[in-house]
Structure 1
């Protein structure tokens, strides 16, 4: 809804919702930055930026659209719908994403977007889950015929007590294995996007099928350390992608936040160092942080819990036109420096000082 693009924090401390055009300008800035792999958008924003502006023509970033919008993410203000069992629904017509009109000619299908996020929520309910599976099958048939690729998002149940908390990680892993067992290579997702249900569950899923690329979603709550630690821990236990939407959208400075996500993904900097350096950048830019440094260095989620039960890192979100996946980017590692520093030989303080100075040059001028 209207809060989707996020808020603008004004000088007097008040807040207002971003306009859609302000939000699209943030997307343009992130694309120009060139760090993320994928930019996920609503179909209407994708049409504007991809088909009309041709924003991605000279970019290494792949545009993607939300391929469906299940009932549990219709979280309008005052809505009770997200509290009911998820039902499948799809606003998007694939032709509109690919060429901007119905019945694309074959040559037109590469003009727009040919990648989408398909989302499913299982609730351990036979009829609800059957509806979800049948809708996914129909989508795969159409997508294969039209040359439309997808990555698959599997949420934890949105109904309370659908699964015992201690069995949630295993339930999700088994649902994924069961759902994809009958899907051959032509119709399989290029990667998964799931809640981080703990290291044990991540290791189990990654070991089960080494050809399955598993990514984690960033979730909505927590501190900057929560976000940075989630990326670090998920990677350590086998995740190969991280998709952050609201955490980036709500950051005090999106470009700096993304820069640190990349550095963590590449193993250049540790999460605690990254939080300190991020706050140093905010101070340089005269941006008031949402939290003090001490508060931002605390963990408010269970990202370090091996079993993964307890407070979950992420819940089914309200619709967001944008999310981004962070990629390793060796070609940008030095950010215009002529040589790459030997980070392995640096102390923690030396790495922190290096990144503070480099990011001050990037964002402070």
Structure 2
């Protein structure tokens, strides 16, 4: 399948040669069905008493089509099932500059079925439901990779300062990298905060993540390297240090917990100041009153075209003009909460960029 040139490819090339080029990679995460159950696709709004509370997968896919048509994000991250339907069978991305991507592993800390998320209380164990072969071509054995519809995946690891479990996670990542290199399959690396650390204090999470990333990547050859990183915002000092350590590595942030609209835009603006050049927002986009308008303003903040507070005011103005009732009043939505801070350098905010609501790191599920 012949595809249009992708904005991701041109931006990566530009950033890897000059991190100050001004390019910014923006991604939407529509892979929540890899973690949650029936609530994966988000709540219907406005809610009608005679219908299910949550969107169906088909409604979820309809929103993905709208976002692809809008063309403002560079990557659409999906589950293998959704990507198989939209990217392979439907060919949704063939005439789009957007790059489809698949979540390639679902380690145990994102197993969030049920009410108490009991799996997420246990230290992360590596596991992958999806396979590279199926992500690329839809079948386990394909003699013709020229028909691949997806060539990019997200791989995530969660390190807990537990030598045996962390070794198992790193070994699984090594196996994935080697398989991906053989298959001509690219990936970006997500590093979650510890979900059940054995002996780390909250104030140690951010430096532990930064040091672990540097140590991990030191053993990775260029041919198997991640295209970019997706990590919690570590605060201005540590984030800047990580971005400056090797400027050929594009550092991206995850969107964080559900909070105010100002939380989302402020987090993005602050990360950009620290040298971050990519961001993946999932829950914040999917929970927005108007996803297209929210993405429009994310793009403007990411590109430095508008300040965070002004973006909030502009977003509410769009809601009003579209006849959409906001979840909270403008003045309340202009507030900043802990959700805007990511992993602080003197401690950990209550709402951080972790899937789990049952860990020492987070009290609400987030991306």
TM-score range, shorter chain: 0.7 to 0.9
Alignment root-mean-square deviation, CA: 2.0
Which of these residues, 103, 124, 133, is aligned with residue 95 of structure 1? 133
**Partner residue, 1:321:** none
* 2:338 alignment partner, SS class: coil
Provide the TM-score with structure 1 as the length reference: 0.83
Whole-Å Cα distance in 1 between the matches of residues 76 and 202 of structure 2? 32
Kindly name which structure, 1 or 2, has the bigger radius of gyration based on alpha carbons: 1
* 1:136 shift after superposition: 0.3
Q: Which moved more, 1:33-42 or 1:93-102?
A: 93-102
Asked if the contact 2:253/2:279 (under 8 Å) is kept, the reply is: yes
**Partner residue, 1:256:** 293
**Partner residue, 2:84:** 47
Asked if the contact 2:258/2:339 (under 8 Å) is kept, the reply is: no
Which of these residues, 164, 183, 188, is aligned with residue 151 of structure 1? 188
Establish whether residue 298 from structure 1 lines up as the match of residue 329 from structure 2: no
* 1:118 alignment partner, SS class: strand
Which of these residues, 306, 316, 319, is aligned with residue 282 of structure 1? 319
Provide the TM-score with structure 2 as the length reference: 0.83
1:46-195 matches, within 5 Å, as 46-78=83-115, 79-105=117-143, 107-159=144-196, 162-195=199-232
1:336-355 matches, within 5 Å, as none
**Partner residue, 2:250:** 213
Q: Which moved more, 1:262-271 or 1:27-36?
A: 262-271
* 1:19 shift after superposition: 0.2
Q: Describe the shift of the 1:16–1:304 C-alpha distance in structure 2 as closer, same or farther (beyond 3 A).
A: closer
Asked if the contact 1:302/1:310 (under 8 Å) is kept, the reply is: no
* 1:36 alignment partner, SS class: coil
Which of these residues, 327, 352, 355, is aligned with residue 317 of structure 1? 355
* 2:187 alignment partner, SS class: strand
- Deviations along 1:161-218, whole A, 9 cap, x unmatched? 6422222211001110111111000010000000112111101101111111000000
Whole-Å Cα distance in 2 between the matches of residues 304 and 84 of structure 1? 25
Asked if the contact 1:199/1:308 (under 8 Å) is kept, the reply is: no
Asked if the contact 1:197/1:309 (under 8 Å) is kept, the reply is: no
Whole-Å Cα distance in 2 between the matches of residues 316 and 9 of structure 1? 25
Which of these residues, 249, 254, 259, is aligned with residue 222 of structure 1? 259
Whole-Å Cα distance in 1 between the matches of residues 57 and 330 of structure 2? 31
Unaligned runs of 5+ in 1: 319-324, 326-365
* 1:11 shift after superposition: 5.6
* 1:108 shift after superposition: 2.5
Asked if the contact 1:99/1:108 (under 8 Å) is kept, the reply is: yes
Asked if the contact 1:198/1:309 (under 8 Å) is kept, the reply is: no
Unaligned runs of 5+ in 2: 1-36, 357-366
Q: Describe the shift of the 1:161–1:240 C-alpha distance in structure 2 as closer, same or farther (beyond 3 A).
A: same
Asked if the contact 2:189/2:229 (under 8 Å) is kept, the reply is: yes
* 1:313 shift after superposition: 5.1
Q: Describe the shift of the 1:122–1:101 C-alpha distance in structure 2 as closer, same or farther (beyond 3 A).
A: same
Q: Which moved more, 1:62-71 or 1:5-14?
A: 5-14
**Partner residue, 2:240:** 203
Whole-Å Cα distance in 1 between the matches of residues 52 and 281 of structure 2? 22
Which of these residues, 277, 282, 306, is aligned with residue 245 of structure 1? 282
Asked if the contact 2:255/2:264 (under 8 Å) is kept, the reply is: yes
Q: Describe the shift of the 1:225–1:308 C-alpha distance in structure 2 as closer, same or farther (beyond 3 A).
A: farther
**Partner residue, 2:32:** none
* 1:315 shift after superposition: 3.5
